[in-house]
Structure 1
């Protein structure tokens, strides 16, 4: 009985030893296979680092203002008896806008004019009489004063009639009418807005650090959501001599054409000031950059060394500069002509083998215009 038990235990130990040996051989084979395993190359898209000449622009957000713009208002109190314009119409300088009731002044004018004629006659008579020494110089002076006073009264009434006949002070586009027939206008009551729309001013600010690069006459390009796909050109016409002490910015004004009058005062626009210098930059797609807290990097595509065929990836840290559309400038870390990975850099690692396939590479543009889907 004991022998059978011992033989059974011995047989079980032998079986376990055999199974352990087989398993050890399998694990060893897997380890050897893992050591010899070479991961397949990663398919990547690529682009060459190119030196490009970018226009040196200073960008800002501006506000449109009219070259001339006022809200036409009443100068004197009076009732509106005539409205001579249509809202939104274009008027010329001197066109009648509103006429107030001037019946009282016009009724006074004939009598005052007659008084002027009488005083003129009396003055002419006094001139002869003082020359013949018939009257004193004092009486002659009184005749002169009476004539001047009569003329002043006529001019005053005519000025009142002129002020109650409200005309366009300059050529421009009218706004919405704010008066009605029969309405009593008081001094300063608004009548209608009048704006000169072509040309039009663009007011914007730039940091004080750019003052050395800015001067009158520099070209500007204006874009606006109201004019999709259009660019309006103009030039800087005024530079404020005072720098804002709160923001340390300087205010500039450009004049741009607006013949179609699509740009209106109060709208905001994007302004690009064109500078004369066009520096060379090393431009790469922005998607080629792996952004990280410890430094930004790209993956450079190199040929494998030691006589091996194929391509390998090398992680290269770079310093970035200005962004322009889909591209970003590299100030250090890359050389012109080097090939880099343009997409999917977050899944790559240093020293990884790669295969280039640019069939699905997206188009990169300096001024991309995405579709509105």
Structure 2
């Protein structure tokens, strides 16, 4: 007969059941731990609550310095230079003689014209006496008067021609480099020298049409130049253009600058900063704004400590701050630091909540 196995004793059976139960519980515990680690881990971030704050920024532009008065001194006639009365760089008064041109023929013609005029005037006086005695006709007297007036007109014409041979400064200013010498033949349009009134200068610069309501005559501005990097020049807006360029969508602004030391020269490039009036604005730190293509957005914190992407409109930027003109409201809580690891719906853990403070974030100031 086949051998029948011996029955398992009760203590041995209980030991085997205990081992199987322990292994099953351990497996269930491992599965539970694995399930707990399967979800996304919260991202450690810094958040802030945005609020409306006083803010002022500056409009920046580039412009070219122009003299208040500027001209190229030229001759009106073709003639030989007889005398030059200035040197390069001279400061001259208005109507000061600069160049005298030869005029010998005109002087001779003037002497002859004056003699003719004097003779005609004497004849007119004699005929006036005869006309008073009714010894000559009135028509003869009128003819002689016309002859005298014609002779005087000839004298004035020659005198005007002689005046054109003395070239004078049209206004007070600084002369540039001399371009002519005595004995040179000059023609109309020949540049003798440049003349600039540098007591004050002006700068024309373009401003985007979005700032049209923020620019007005009388506003103070600051200008800087690479030639004088250690100082700024104070100016004032003297004119706001009446048109907006349809191509660039900008309008022209003119600012005047006092220039007593004549440090600013025509043609210099100047950077203009025009400070806008203080206003209330919704400001956030620039690091909170994420730029993707042409869109800007921030991460707004939901009540369940997850984030959502919110597209926002950006206005001015100033020293680490960005003005929000749409998308979020005062009181919203946004992520300031740690946006690089976030996605829409990501859970977060607060590292250090606070309120956006312009003093801590850089404060309003230059853009």
Identify whether the pair has TM-score above 0.5, normalized to the shorter chain. yes
Residue 336 of structure 2 corresponds to residue 341 of structure 1:
yes
How much does 1:281 deviate?
1.2
Q: What are the residue-to-residue correspondences of 1:1-373 with 2, within 5 Å?
A: 35=37, 49=50, 51-55=52-56, 58-207=59-208, 213=213, 217-226=217-226, 227-228=228-229, 229-240=231-242, 242-273=243-274, 278-292=278-292, 296-298=297-299, 317=310, 319-322=312-315, 323-331=317-325, 332-333=327-328, 335=330, 341-342=336-337, 345-347=339-341, 350-353=346-349, 355-356=351-352, 364=362, 366-367=364-365
Instruction: Tell me which residue corresponds to 1:10.
Output: none
Residues of 2 paired with 1:75 and 1:260: CA distance? 33
Residues of 2 paired with 1:357 and 1:317: CA distance? 20
Label 1:207 to 1:320 Cα distance change in 2 as closer, same or farther (>3 A): closer
Residues of 2 paired with 1:257 and 1:245: CA distance? 32
Label 1:268 to 1:57 Cα distance change in 2 as closer, same or farther (>3 A): same
Instruction: Between 316-325 and 202-211, report the one with greater CA deviation.
Output: 202-211
How much does 1:101 deviate?
1.1
Instruction: Tell me which residue corresponds to 2:11.
Output: none
Higher-strand-fraction structure: 2
Residues of 1 paired with 2:46 and 2:80: CA distance? 77
**TM-superposition CA deviations, 1:197-241 (whole Å, max 9, x none):** 343333234455665x2776241524233343514221232533x
* Local SS of the residue matching 2:232: coil
Asked if the contact 1:299/1:345 (under 8 Å) is kept, the reply is no
Asked if the contact 2:42/2:347 (under 8 Å) is kept, the reply is no
**TM-superposition CA deviations, 1:227-266 (whole Å, max 9, x none):** 43514221232533x5545445444434333333333333
Label 1:169 to 1:295 Cα distance change in 2 as closer, same or farther (>3 A): closer
How much does 1:165 deviate?
0.5
Label 1:365 to 1:99 Cα distance change in 2 as closer, same or farther (>3 A): farther
Residues of 2 paired with 1:40 and 1:52: CA distance? 31
Residues of 1 paired with 2:330 and 2:309: CA distance? 11
Unaligned runs of 5+ in 2: 1-22, 355-359
TM-score, scaled relative to structure 2: 0.71
How much does 1:110 deviate?
3.3
Relative CO higher for 1 or 2, CA cutoff 8 Å, sep ≥ 6?
Answer: 2
How much does 1:286 deviate?
1.3
How much does 1:77 deviate?
0.8
Instruction: Tell me which residue corresponds to 1:18.
Output: none
Unaligned runs of 5+ in 1: 1-20, 306-311
